[in-house]
Amino acid sequence: MVGKQVLRVAYFTENGRKLKDKLKDSLSSCILEEKPEDFSLNDWISDSFDVHLPILFIGSLGIAVRSIAPFVSDKLLDPPVIAVDELGLNVIPVLSGHFGGANDLAKEIAKAIDSHVVITTATDINNVFAVDVFAKKNGLKITNRELIKKINGKALSGADTNITETEDYIEVEGLKLVPKRMILGMGCKKGKTFDELYDFLNEIYDERTLFDKLYAIATIDAKEDEIGLIKLAQYYGAKFMVYSADELEMVEGDFAESDFVKDTVGVGNVCERAALKAAGENGILIQDKIAKDGITLAEAKRVELDIDWN
């Protein structure tokens, strides 16, 4: 199943703090990370954009807009930004509503606090096909991105959208969407930081390859709150998938088993089994387990895409 995500939160009043506490108790899909008191708002936002973590402003829309303005640069890389007033009456996606997922996250927040969500993107309010949403949902790399606006505009006009599917890509009105097929199964000792995991991963892979090809990072549900792993997935725009020990035990294959790991989490190998589990039907193990400094990694390839056309 899809795991949690880290949501950064800034508030400015006592009512804002109370709403943050309410969200912490009710928004089960997110781990809230408050702006540290010794961090300036500007530096905190800059860091959030650098590591691609979503931001929730509890305060006025104007504060959110002015605060993020110097950092907005790329609609396919900018993190989702959301504003909610301090009484929790309205939740408003501000940035990266489609590819970043701000619209969907805003809906989750609104549901958690029984609030009203204000969606302004044309394809959403008219309930029509949006090629960037389709790409994000299905783990597809957008190539000739300049066509996004044209394709979504055509859908809004009511015209039919021409879609061609091949083994290597999906083409929508000339826009090629290339499947991200890389699955990384990972395990780690408790408390491994994003920086430690990032450095480990980048010893093995080129960062451009990870941005272009990484579909998901998968692990055992005992690690569902492991902040470093979650942030690593969010940094690369990948899904974070978690599975129970029973689910992983059912994955077939010749794996490097560890009695210590089995005694600790209930299954003798996490990374290889998790990679294959997330790869789905006919998934292929590409890289056997690699271990270093309390981190393990294995790579699998998803073959069957199971495209969601809705």
Asked whether the domain spanning 182-301 has the same topology as the one spanning 5-120, the reply is no
DSSP string computed for 19-60: HHHHHHHH-TTEEEEEPPTTS-HHHHHHHHHHTT--EEEES-
Q: What is the pLDDT of residues 65-81, one digit of tens each?
A: 999 999 999 989 999 99
| Cα–Cα dist 109/105, whole Å | 6
Distance CA 66, CA 43 (A): 14
pLDDT tens digits, one per residue of 170-189: 999 999 999 999 999 999 99
pLDDT, tens digit (0-9, with 9 covering 90-100), for 229-281: 999 999 999 999 999 999 999 998 888 888 788 878 888 889 999 999 999 98
Q: Give 204's DSSP letter.
A: H
pLDDT of residue 147: 93
What are the domain boundaries of the chain?
5-120, 130-179, 182-301
Structure tokens at 230: 């979650």
Task: Give the SS3 label for residue 159.
Answer: coil
Does residue 161 carry a pLDDT above 90? Answer: no
Q: Per CATH, which fold does 182-301 belong to?
A: Nucleotidyltransferase; domain 5 (3.30.420)
Average pLDDT, the chain: 94
- What are the tokens at 276? 């294959």
Check: CB of residue 273 under 8 Å from CB of residue 244.
Answer: no
Q: Where are the beta strands (DSSP E) in 129-279?
A: 140-142, 163-165, 170-172, 175-179, 182-188, 214-220, 239-243
Is 99's pLDDT higher than 90?
yes
**CATH code given to domain 5-120:** 3.40.50.11220
Residue labelled with tokens 């029509």:
128
